Structure 1
Amino acid sequence: MNAAADTPVVIAGGSLVGLATALFLGKHGVPSMVVERNEGLSPHPRARGVNARAMELFRWAGIEDELRAMPSAKALAGNSGIIAAESLAGKELGALKEGYHRDTGATDDDDAGWLGATGWCLCHQHEVEPLLREHAARHGADLRFGTELAGFDQDADGVTVRLRDAAGAERSVRAGYLVGADGAGSLVRRLLGIGTDGPGALAHFLNVRFRADLTGPLRGRRFVMCYTISGSSRSALLPVNNADEWLLHVPYDPDRAEEFTPEHCADLARTAAGVDGLDVTVEGVASWESAGRVAGSFAAGRVFLAGDAAHVMPPTGAFGSNTGIQDAHNLAWKLAAVLRGEAGPGLLDTYEEERRPVAEATVEQTVLRSKDRPRLAGGPQQAPDPRIQPDPVVTFGQVYRSAAVEPDGTGGDPRWEPEPAGRPGTRAPHVIVKRDGKLVSTLDLYGDAFVLLTGPDGAACADAVARAAAESGVAVETLAIGRDVRNVAVDLCGAHGLTPEGAVLVRPDGFVAWRSAGPPDPAADVGALFGRLLCRPQGAPAGAAGGLAG
């Protein structure tokens, strides 16, 4: 990248995924410029389910505690399950009682068998985004609201991004890379000429944000969502604070949008509540489309797509925004490694290889789940769709191809791993360990750099990887089981598929990059390990791939 560039990365879109991208880049020491056409963040609650994997990433970014302290997060901490009823005050017709988030964290001994370092959080998007914006700015992001992307041109050395301010004045910014996190109607995607695949539009809805005291008909229940079915009226009622702040999802015909006046929306809220004459104040209405789409490609040259620009899915299960946050995390460390010169440009090709299969599988699951929800009103005799997989496969099951290697060089086929077991290509296992006298998750050990976790007798592995890292100019932290981290209730070696002489190398994003179950095989070319993992040409010195803008 040309050292005279204005910024290493321009991010188009200043909503949830764009701000998460800026924060994650900042955590890796990479400043960015976020451009957002709106003057400020949306005040509408919108998405609210932050799944366990996304919370792990926010934990690494240092904002988990602040997020859980947000008003909606505190108010909804005890909410779980989904019900269907004639109305909130009326007869219940069915329920999904499975928990939709967990409150226990990595320091809870009783939770040692759970898959993650932390649990779900229900927190509305209009509270999450200001937190992301604040921390992204602290980590060097240049946030430009009221500035829209007008176009861009890319060449072998970077991207020239044309920006337009609210007054219509245009200027150009030179960047190393451009990330399109500009939503379902992504201009970045359209300018790249990338189409989408999938079932497309499924339905159209209005989100009605309203105030009304529903503590009476609520009857102390703490649900995630209540589907209401009253005659021909269908809606979904979502608590914002379990008392007087609510969201109502209402199906609507975009061609008849003028019918949904504030008075009509208030009547729809009364119908859903089942309380005639209810005092309702409508505070906002926003339209949205439920759809299933995946971009035909997630990248073109130096331009990448993330979040809704890359994939759109129904809100069932809250996987859409969470998948986008995970896109941002995957892309951020790779951009940082290339910009620092530690990795070759080929590492960025693995972004699409790793994230697009996840998006395809997640879109498929969310579409199936959205079509399955009507069974709630049909009675217990209706079984769920057998194609629907349990949550961990989507929430934690990840897949990547080129960067994952066993000692013999295998590991190139995509694989899903519902319960991480230390295999290359999967998310590193969560195990409760003791470090510096404190209980933490193994996942808390990862995030900033490569980490080599060795067995208590893994000195040979540690030496081989240390030599390879030194020759490649890559920073690796080595932690030995029994010395630096200690078992608590689970055998750490066994959880990672290691003997005491083995070791596992974990990428900065917490995914297993390499494993040697025992001492390194003399025939294995451990010296070339980082060249393969970071897609560097044989013999290329560190720093040859690029450099941060100065």
Structure 2
Amino acid sequence: MYDEHVPVLISGGSLVGLSTAVFLAWHGVTPLLVERHHDTSIYARAWGVNPRTMELYRSVHLEPAIRAAQRRLEGKERGSGILRAESLAGEEHEWFEVPYLHGVFEDSSPVSPTGWAPCPQDKLEPLLRDRAVELGADLRFGVELVSFEQDGDGVTAVLEERRTGTRRTVRAGYLVGCDGNASPVRHNLGIPTGGLGTMVHNMAILFRADLTEALRGRAFMHCQVMNEDVMGVLGTDGERWQLDAMYFPGGEQEEFTEERCVALVRAAAGVPGLEVEILGRLPWELAARVAASLGSGRVFLAGDSARVHPPTGGFGANTGVQDAHNLAWKLAYVLAGKAGAGLLGSYEAERLPVGRFTVDQAVARSLDRFKNPAVGDVTAVPIADDLTVMMGYRYRSRAVVPEPGEPWGPGGDHDAGDYDPGDYDDVNAPSGRPGTRAPHVVLDSGVSTLDLLGRDFTLLAGADGAPWAEAAARAARRRGLHLDTHLIADEPWAKAYGVGSGGAVLVRPDGFIAWRTTQESRPGTDRENTFLDVLDHVLDLPQDDRSHEESR
């Protein structure tokens, strides 16, 4: 007996869990999300939304709200840089600019229709919560996932309301664990993690104080402070401040009383006697860990439950949101009967290699920029371009149709433990290869190609590609799918997508290219059946006997 049935249960209502709820609801799935805390986070934690993640939020009409809530970086020069100093009021050691913040003041860039949004997590989560509810998601804060079991048909979960202790049994088609780096869901599945592990212990101290005099008109993303009393990072959302103070476990170091927190803030500010109001404190680890897999059976992991990044580079939360976006459309298609269950296997094949590479890149940046004495002798990987890490990765899975000569072969998953330079696109000179993010091209109409993409698959074809568009539309109808089609005559589009005027490109609901034909097919080509093969391949649909069908 079950108290209720839901298509998808989400455990964890932080940034990634809420994003999963938004994306699922956007695709017509009504998820149930449970979060053990009674409200969204009061801590900034993730400080910025990168351009790729902003593209995803833009697609669900969240960009205006995020822009309205984002932190305004105003002030003197170096407003987007990082200051390293003895203390905020003390001696400056150095300034350095942060390449990944390029475009932080802009709403668009040459590679994206949108730009960085310096919107901290405590401001972003309420926006996601409101949008998820608006789209129909069922969000229950103060409710905890106590246990779960899965079988071939679904997941049986026990939920507890924390205030009353009341328990309910829920039957879900699928469970998504977005429950943080300690992830009870991951532990229940017995999935181990590997990687560098804990690098630094930090205590996030949220406070209010008037630091106008210490700032001296300067503006920055963060201020790294180091003196005999404190080592940490100061940041602000414009209203409150947060000090992430490093500590070493054991003894008095872990006793963060209010008096000690005030003393640490004063030391970081370099202002003895500063009036400080402590709003909260939260321990966290600067760590690097990656789960060995992204789930088992009908249970999936996303965000910090799947991997933990050092914060340098701002990849952690953004990578988790991109997990959610990748998984949501696949769950929606399978639940609606539009795809076979095998489509869900492409989630791990695509996101696990990306996650491993991104964690390695975050570690490399952390070691290079912070040169922290608490971290031992670690050999870092070469640092790749930030845009490449954000949006240049390429998927190789069954949900992508390889081109002739591609190394992973028809229908095969690329080894999820392997990634090589060939798996990356130059975002500034995109190739349009299957498995890459659909490039942003501003058309003559002033519209971005990314804004042509919707909830479902989209076929983009050249000026002479109407035969492909017509055949694809017929094939989609035969599979019960909605397909948007657009004919584009602009030459820059054809170059960015690597096709001729008679070519066509199929873009998945997550904005990644599933298939392309680079030029008009040879005479006699059965375009409709070709496209049926593409859909069946990507969506893990059974091949039908088309010899008895009439083309329509």
Contact 2:34 / 2:144 at 8 angstroms: preserved in 1?
Answer: yes
Partner of 1:105: 107
Distance 2:254 2:85 in 1: 28
Contact 1:96 / 1:376 at 8 angstroms: preserved in 2?
Answer: no
Return closer, same or farther for 1:375/1:169 CA change in 2, 3 Å cut-off.
Answer: closer
Superposition map of 1:122-521 within 5 A? 122-166=118-162, 167-231=164-228, 233-241=230-238, 245-255=240-250, 256-374=252-370, 387-402=382-397, 403-406=399-402, 408=404, 410=406, 412=408, 413=414, 415-419=423-427, 420-435=430-445, 439-482=446-489, 487=490, 491-521=492-522
Contact 1:454 / 1:503 at 8 angstroms: preserved in 2?
Answer: yes
Contact 2:361 / 2:381 at 8 angstroms: preserved in 1?
Answer: no
Residue 386 of structure 1, CA deviation: 7.4
Contact 1:316 / 1:366 at 8 angstroms: preserved in 2?
Answer: yes
Could you say what secondary structure the match of 1:527 adopts?
helix
Contact 2:82 / 2:95 at 8 angstroms: preserved in 1?
Answer: yes
Return closer, same or farther for 1:411/1:221 CA change in 2, 3 Å cut-off.
Answer: farther
Could you say what secondary structure the match of 1:50 adopts?
coil
Return closer, same or farther for 1:168/1:79 CA change in 2, 3 Å cut-off.
Answer: same
The AA in structure 2 aligned to 1:54 is T
Contact 1:424 / 1:515 at 8 angstroms: preserved in 2?
Answer: yes
Residue 421 of structure 1, CA deviation: 2.4
Partner of 1:546: none
Residue 131 of structure 1, CA deviation: 0.9
Distance 2:380 2:363 in 1: 11
TM-score, with structure 1 as normaliser: 0.89
Could you say what secondary structure the match of 2:71 adopts?
helix
Contact 1:95 / 1:376 at 8 angstroms: preserved in 2?
Answer: no
Could you say what secondary structure the match of 1:493 adopts?
helix
Distance 2:332 2:444 in 1: 30
Residue 451 of structure 1, CA deviation: 0.7
Unpaired runs of 5+ residues, structure 2, are 374-378, 409-413, 547-552
Could you say what secondary structure the match of 1:270 adopts?
helix
Residue 389 of structure 1, CA deviation: 1.2
Could you say what secondary structure the match of 1:432 adopts?
coil
TM-score, with structure 2 as normaliser: 0.88
Report the more deviating stretch, 280-289 or 410-419. Answer: 410-419
Distance 2:352 2:486 in 1: 32
Q: Which has the higher contact order (CA 8 A, sep 6+)?
A: 1
Contact 1:401 / 1:411 at 8 angstroms: preserved in 2?
Answer: no
Q: Deviations over 1:435-465 (max 9, x none)?
A: 4xxx222111113111111110112322332
Could you say what secondary structure the match of 1:161 adopts?
strand
Distance 2:531 2:167 in 1: 51
Contact 2:433 / 2:497 at 8 angstroms: preserved in 1?
Answer: yes
Partner of 2:16: 17
Contact 2:67 / 2:117 at 8 angstroms: preserved in 1?
Answer: yes
Q: Deviations over 1:508-542 (max 9, x none)?
A: 1100111111013538843311000111121299x
Could you say what secondary structure the match of 1:418 adopts?
coil
Residue 434 of structure 1, CA deviation: 4.2
Could you say what secondary structure the match of 1:148 adopts?
strand
Residue 427 of structure 1, CA deviation: 0.2
Contact 1:455 / 1:501 at 8 angstroms: preserved in 2?
Answer: yes
Contact 1:396 / 1:418 at 8 angstroms: preserved in 2?
Answer: no
Report the more deviating stretch, 245-254 or 318-327. Answer: 245-254
Say if 2:84 is the partner of 1:89: no
The AA in structure 1 aligned to 2:184 is L
Residue 428 of structure 1, CA deviation: 0.4
Residue 397 of structure 1, CA deviation: 1.9
Q: Deviations over 1:147-177 (max 9, x none)?
A: 1111112122111111112222222111111
Unpaired runs of 5+ residues, structure 1, are 378-383, 542-550
Residue 470 of structure 1, CA deviation: 2.6
Could you say what secondary structure the match of 1:440 adopts?
coil
Distance 1:156 1:195 in 2: 23
Could you say what secondary structure the match of 2:447 adopts?
strand
Contact 2:4 / 2:169 at 8 angstroms: preserved in 1?
Answer: no
Residue 260 of structure 1, CA deviation: 2.2
Partner of 2:538: 533
Residue 275 of structure 1, CA deviation: 1.9
Partner of 2:62: 63
The AA in structure 1 aligned to 2:194 is D
Q: Deviations over 1:322-362 (max 9, x none)?
A: 11000000000000111111110000000000000111001
% identical equivalent positions: 48
Distance 2:297 2:190 in 1: 13
Could you say what secondary structure the match of 1:469 adopts?
helix
Return closer, same or farther for 1:334/1:478 CA change in 2, 3 Å cut-off.
Answer: same
Residue 418 of structure 1, CA deviation: 3.4
Could you say what secondary structure the match of 1:29 adopts?
coil
The AA in structure 2 aligned to 1:60 is S
